Amino acid sequence: MNVLLIGSGAREHAIARAIDNSQKNSSLHCFASNINPGIADVCSGLILGNINDPKAVVGYAKETSSTLAIIGPENPLASGVADALWDVGIKVVGPKKDLAQVETSKAFTRDLLKEYNIPGGPHYQTFDSMAGVDDFLTELGENYVVKYDGLAGGKGVKVAGDHLQSHNDALAYCMELVDKGGEFVVEEKFIGQEFSLMSFCDGETLKHMPAVQDHKRAYEGDRGPNTGGMGTYSDADHSLPFLKDSDIQEAHTINISTAMALKDKFGEGYKGVLYGGFIATDSGVKLIEYNARFGDPEAMNVLPLLKSDFVDICVHIADGTLKNTDVQFQNKATVCKYAVPEGYPDNPVKGEPINVSSVENSGGLFYASVDIKNGSLVEAGSRTVAVVGIADSIVEAEAIAEKEVSSVSGPLFHRSDIGTESVIQERIDHMNSLR
């Protein structure tokens, strides 16, 4: 089978490796936005192009006689790449544009949960002007979040107490969004501990992955600007040390209910990875947002643990037969840490050489925003490389990841606190103080 992978970051490197490990006799091609040497290594062909251009992607899919495509990032989903591939008879893992609205429109997702009585939604209102904003912010008091209603690479969400220090700050941000000409959602802010729960979904059946906790802030102690995610961890029991079994069950139920609601609304099922960004609170699990794809870094935690055949799962997703296959993950803990360019995310250095030759386990190294310049591996300006430690406990996995990420040389930094015992204890103490 010829498989086409769309995207070329570390998440896609993890996907490419899972395809390479498959027992299905498949040949992989990649439609990429940068030369990722890790993906190139396991591919029969890699072409650079605009991954958001449906015509260009379909052209390469035909040229490579691909029969199955896997879409990594959200932007191609938003631009209808999945729709265009299905239109020419190519099976796709990654939802069509309408269904991808769970990620591309905050208002859509809030309305969907409300319409179908799915638990976990906040008190919210959607606006396209300033009419009523002041009153609603006053009603929410100190705990509010303002979300731009579109893809903004994590920069469209501003949270009271973090990015917005006062009612006037919030009004000013809302005015900025009105001037931009889009809709925005103002909603209640939840207090608790966040976690990601991703599910494979064929439109009807969902198979859940281990829970993961991401760290979005750039600096140690969860300080500094928001990033795409500096690192993540998962535990051997597929839950997280601060969660109860009922939290995992509630997250599963919300993902299942959302998939059923999407099928009802659009008359066809969501095929891909449904990624719930959840928060455990004193009153149960709430939904912060959905993503319509694997998380990055979360893909690097879960895919290396997959015992089942990834290509087989993808075919079952596309065919709507996921109930006929078993999806199993190893009972191991993982810690993933990103090395990112100095100055990231606001003023990252670019084009500087890095050296990964001291990383001991190349199977735990994932290339992200890198390029090849004059034969050397260089930073391309965003998260650069990720490493994953896998062990029986989070603490052991952290020690592996920390050693590996520290061995990558170049003008880079990483968060040494992710996955450490003291940070995990803080999370547990926080949840205990809330419940």
- Specify the residue for token string 């100190």: 142
Name the segment binding ligand GLY (CB under 6 A); options: 14-22, 108-116, 294-302, 310-318: 294-302
Long-range contacts, 214-223 (Cβ 8 Å, 24+): 214/295, 214/297, 214/298, 215/415, 215/418, 216/154, 218/340, 218/344, 218/345, 218/415, 219/415, 220/415, 220/416, 220/417, 221/417
> Which structure tokens are listed for 57?
């992607």
> What number of chain residues touch ligand GLY (CB under 6 A)?
6
Task: Note whether 187 binds ligand GLY by CB under 6 A.
Answer: no
By C-beta, is 275 or 310 nearer to ligand GLY? 275
Smallest separation, CB 296 to ligand GLY (Å)? 5
Residue 296 binds ligand GLY, judged by CB under 6 A: yes
| Residue 334 lies near ligand GLY (rule: CB under 6 A) | no
Candidates 79, 255, 291, 334: give the one binding ligand GLY (CB under 6 A).
291
Q: Which stretch binds ligand GLY (CB under 6 A): 291-299, 317-325, 333-341, 383-391?
A: 291-299
Q: Which residues lie closer than 8 Å to 390 by C-beta, 6 or more apart?
A: 304, 305, 332, 333, 334, 364, 397, 400
- Beta carbon of residue 74, minimum distance to ligand GLY (angstroms, whole number): 8
SS3 207: strand
Residue 363 tokens read as 């199977």
Give the binding range for ligand GLY (CB under 6 A) out of 179-187, 203-211, 295-303, 419-427.
295-303
Residue 126, helix vs strand vs coil = strand
Per CB under 6 A, does 229 bind ligand GLY? yes
For ligand GLY, which residue of 235, 298, 398, 417 counts as binding (CB under 6 A)?
298
Residue 172 Cβ vs ligand GLY, minimum distance, rounded to whole Å: 26
The residue (of 48 and 152) whose beta carbon lies closer to ligand GLY is 152
157-159 and 91-93 as β-strands: parallel, antiparallel, unpaired? Answer: unpaired
User: Which of 7, 3, 9, 8 minimizes the C-alpha distance to 340?
Assistant: 9
Of the listed pieces 21-29, 288-296, 341-349, 363-371, which binds ligand GLY according to CB under 6 A?
288-296
Q: How far is CA 229 from the centre of its chain?
A: 9
**Listed ranges 76-84, 293-301, 394-402, 404-412: which one lies at the site for ligand GLY (CB under 6 A):** 293-301
Q: Taking the complex as a whole, how short is the minimal distance between the CB of residue 361 and ligand GLY, in angstroms?
A: 23
Q: Does 202 bind ligand GLY (CB under 6 A)?
A: no
> In 3D, which of 360, 363, 369 has the Cα closest to residue 405?
360
CA distance 180 to 182: 6
Only segment of 136-144, 251-259, 289-297, 338-346 that touches ligand GLY (CB under 6 A):
289-297
* Sole binder of ligand GLY in the list 12, 98, 214, 309 (CB under 6 A): 214
* Rounded Cα–Cα distance for residues 418 and 301 (Å): 13
Residues near ligand GLY, by CB under 6 A: 214, 229, 291, 295-296, 298
